[in-house]
Amino acid sequence: MKHRTFFWFILPTLSAMILFIALPIVSVFIQSLFVQHEQVLIVSESCGPFGCKETTSIDTEATAKLREEQPLGRFNGLGTYVNRSHLAFVEVGEAWRNTETFGEFWSQIFNLPFYRALIFTLTYTAVVTPLVIVLGLAIAVGVNNLPKMLKGPSIFISLLPFLVTPLVGSLILFWMVDSDGVIGATMQRVFNDPSLSLKASTALTWTMLIVYGVWHTLPFSFITFYAGLQTVPEDTMEAAMIDGATKWQRMIHVVVPHLAPLMSFVTLMLLMDNFRVFEPIVSFKAEAHATSLSWIIYNDLRESGNPLYGSAGATSMMTIIGVVILLTPVLIRTWRDFNRKAH
């Protein structure tokens, strides 16, 4: 294709991407470099139905004047990125100097909000992604080998978890694992421990979130692999059969290599999605035991009354960087495959 033609073809997509993806990212980055103006506080007296009290309030006129002079706020450089809520260089350095054992150091790191969230996010991504790929492939092969009559209904049933809105799906599971719910009560009975609670233990909460994650994303990898299985070349399979390959050998040496490009695609999508895990944490009210990077952003924008845009922006940028780091190996692999095929 001529470069000119190519340019005109790509122009609509490219401009949409610049407008809706690139520019917002630039804007978020710029916001993350600034913090709010100094708030001018004045001592005042406030009265209400419950009596009077000395208190402070903000001198809005003085603050508005500061804001007019510098609409973006005060420039803080990368200060927000390295403060306690994020990379916490000072706190990490102190922990390193003041602790004797690696375990102690680790527990101090785990006490910092960003690292705590990062550890859960990475664990979630690292466990859910491979499980979803392997189980998705297994279900796809299973459904593919079913008699024709059963195929339709089983595809439909396998897709169901994907049709449920994440928030609703996790709420349903949340109620089921409640100590009065069907799963929670059954577990109490099985282990004969009336105070056993899935919501009160960190390990069980993590397990619950991961099980939910697998359940919810499984249909995506299943349906992609199922579509891929329809394109496995018949003659290669027949040739393998004639060569005496067992079912398992055909699976490993014919089907899996054939599906390899699809696997890269599914891995890519899953890594991106899992790294941004968010809804189940809110629905499961799991904040006491597990937080994720996306949850921190949400919390910064919501909890304190006045949104901390700088903090949220910094976490967003680091999430993007994290996704890029995770995707790099997969992207390099895809690029190599592409080049091999092109020549």
Partner 1 sequence: MFLRNLATATAFAGLLGSAAYAADCGPEGQSIRVLASDFPAIHAVTEAAEANCGAAAAEFSVNHTTEARQIMNAALTPNPAEYTSVILANATLTQLMNDGLVRPLNDLVEKYSDNIKPHQLITIDGNVMAVAFMANSQHLFARKDILEKAGVDRIPATYEEVLDAAEKIRAAGIMEHPIVMNLQTGWNVGEVFNMIYLGHGGEFFKPGSAEPAINNEKGIATLNVMKVLTEYAHPDHLTHASNETQGLWEAGQAALGIMWGSRGAPILDDEGSSEEVTSNTVLSAAPTVAGGSIPAATLWWDGISIASNVSDEEAEATFAALVSGLTPEMVEANNDDAVWLLEGFKPGPAAAGVAATAQGGAQPYPMIPQMGLLHAALGSELTDFLKGDETAEQALSDVEAAYRTSAKEAGFLE
CB of 238 to partner 1, least distance (A): 57
Residues contacting 75, CB < 8 A, separation 6+: 33, 34
CB of 295 to partner 1, least distance (A): 10
Alpha-carbon span 60 to 39, nearest angstrom: 8
Q: Please check whether residue 323 is in contact with residue 275, taking contact to mean a CB–CB distance below 8 angstroms.
A: yes
CB of 70 to partner 1, least distance (A): 12
Ramachandran region, residue 73 (left: φ > 0; alpha: ψ -120 to 50; beta: rest): left
Tokens 């101090």 found at: 108
Hey, which bits of the chain come out as E strands? 34-35, 41-48, 51-58, 74-75
DSSP secondary structure letter of residue 170? H
Q: Which is nearer to partner 1, 113 or 261 (CB)?
A: 113
Q: Please check whether residue 208 is in contact with residue 284, taking contact to mean a CB–CB distance below 8 angstroms.
A: yes
Q: Which is nearer to partner 1, 136 or 313 (CB)?
A: 313
Q: Which is nearer to partner 1, 226 or 295 (CB)?
A: 295
3-state secondary structure string, 32-88? Answer: HCEECCCCCEEEEEEEECCEEEEEEEECHHHHHHHHHHCCCCEECCCHHHHCCCCCC
Q: Which is nearer to partner 1, 145 or 201 (CB)?
A: 201
CB of 137 to partner 1, least distance (A): 35
Q: Which is nearer to partner 1, 84 or 189 (CB)?
A: 84
Q: Which is nearer to partner 1, 238 or 287 (CB)?
A: 287
CB of 144 to partner 1, least distance (A): 41
CB of 5 to partner 1, least distance (A): 45
* CA-based torsion, 30, 118, 86, 96: positive or negative: negative
CB of 92 to partner 1, least distance (A): 13
Tokens 């996306």 found at: 294
Q: Which is nearer to partner 1, 91 or 327 (CB)?
A: 91
Q: Which is nearer to partner 1, 182 or 288 (CB)?
A: 288
- The Cα angle at residue 160 between residues 155 and 164, in degrees rounded to 5: 160
Measured CA distances, 278 to 235, 253, 285 (Å): 45, 37, 11
* CA-based torsion, 237, 241, 243, 249: positive or negative: positive
Residues binding partner 1 (CB under 8 A): 35-39, 41, 43-51, 53-58, 60-61, 63-64, 73-74, 76, 80, 83-85, 91, 111, 113, 178-180, 194-195, 197, 199-200, 202, 284-285, 287-289, 299, 302-306, 308, 310-311
CB of 278 to partner 1, least distance (A): 15
CB of 119 to partner 1, least distance (A): 14
**Residue among 105, 170, 116, 80 nearest 287 (CA):** 116
SS3 308: coil
Q: Which is nearer to partner 1, 197 or 334 (CB)?
A: 197
